[in-house]
Amino acid sequence: MSSTFTKKPIPTDVDNVPLDVELRQVFKIFDGETAVCGVNLNIRKGEFFSILGPSGCGKTTTLRLIAGFESPSAGDILIQKKNVNDVPPYRRPVNTVFQSYALFNHLTVVENVAFGLKIKKLPKTEVRERVQEALVRVQMEGYANRFPSQLSGGQQQRVALARALVNKPAVMLLDEPLGALDLKLRKEMQVELSRLHQDLGLTFVMVTHDQEEALSMSDRIAVMSHGKIEQIGSPHEIYDRPATPFIADFIGDTNLFEGYVNNTEEARQNIVTSKGLKIVVDLPEYRPNVMVANTHSNYGAKKQRSEIPSGEVVVSIRPEKIKVTLDPPTHLVNCYEGQLEHTMFLGTHVLYVVRLNSGDLLRVKQPNTSASINHGTPVYVHWLAADCLALNT
């Protein structure tokens, strides 16, 4: 299995791609508890769309609503432009792959994959051909007569994928599909799943709590929190331009400083943090390729200008954007003195924890190329105004 795989480029004219799945103001309330709260989603034909969020945020319920295993308390669900609110799961053009594989243990691989087609009473030759084609797709043709108990976790998940593919759904729904696999196998299957998506050109909707998985596999990601969608965007947008402090904190590692906007100039803002640090932040409009989804409304497909932060804000700065030096840098902005308090060796990188003279702790991640710095050493840290972000709280 190759680990080198390049995703197809994202089409430039995305607004004209037809929609496969639409959620319009969808709510799901269980016994008075709101699991999904006014969710709007537009998922384009052929895209790899991930729903990402912490445990209990409502992502699985959202997927189950699309699958038809739950019905909405309010709102509409459309698949390929047809309202499916009253359509049972088996009549929807979707198939779901579960984390637990959900294979029949008493049936062989072939029998598992053929099961749905036999129920539909398709001719035997067609069943045989389609099952073979699906097994080839997931590279399991050599395991046709084995039982699930004779397969590894990764192989069982491939069979589960084949069982979904054999029905030729318009949309594949994947509920934490790699959640039961160990890390190495999970990485391999991520590549395989991306390749499969690209080869088939189907719409994939995947639920995951693993940010790295969502960032590496998806065309777009919806980040959920407390039943609502906080932001929809490409992996780059979500990582580099999080719309809220929650997303900045949830996706990847970041340093967050509470403060307020002291003044706004033409292209930048001066922020003062609660401990008196003065941070200069470039305004979003002055950064290249900014596309910010409208928080909480999230039709997400439209470009929208981001709002200029004002009043109380949180400044987010990623550890890898910060430089640490022993000599004073020549930078005039976002340069602070401190002491190295802790070092963690991460293999390819080193994580430094620096105590600034203001008392703030700062996490700095640098490639493992320079000489190590001793604890207690006075250091300077600095970063570019374009590399940090002010977010309204």
Residues that bind ligand ATP (CB under 6 A): 30-31, 33, 35, 53, 55-61, 209
CB of 335 to ligand ATP, least distance (A): 41
CB of 64 to ligand ATP, least distance (A): 7
Bridge partner list, 41: 23
226 torsion bin: left (phi>0), alpha (psi -120 to 50), beta (else): left
Give whichever of 71 and 198 is closer to ligand ATP, judged by the CB atom: 71
The CA distance from 369 to 349, in Å, is 8
Give whichever of 69 and 380 is closer to ligand ATP, judged by the CB atom: 69
Give whichever of 59 and 92 is closer to ligand ATP, judged by the CB atom: 59
CB of 28 to ligand ATP, least distance (A): 8
Q: Which has the closest alpha carbon to 283: 317, 260, 309, 301?
A: 309
CB 34 within 8 A of CB 27: yes
CB of 261 to ligand ATP, least distance (A): 34
Q: Which has the closest alpha carbon to 231: 41, 98, 14, 27?
A: 41
Give whichever of 148 and 227 is closer to ligand ATP, judged by the CB atom: 227
Backbone angles phi, psi at 232, to 5 degrees: -125, 135
Q: Which has the closest alpha carbon to 61: 96, 26, 36?
A: 36
Residue 326: CB partners within 8 Å, gap ≥ 6? Answer: 373, 377, 378, 379, 380
Give whichever of 160 and 222 is closer to ligand ATP, judged by the CB atom: 222
| Helices vs. strands in the chain: H and E counts, helices first | 8, 20
Give whichever of 58 and 245 is closer to ligand ATP, judged by the CB atom: 58
CB of 63 to ligand ATP, least distance (A): 8
Q: Which has the closest alpha carbon to 174: 183, 187, 161?
A: 161
CB of 54 to ligand ATP, least distance (A): 7
Give whichever of 59 and 220 is closer to ligand ATP, judged by the CB atom: 59
CB of 5 to ligand ATP, least distance (A): 27
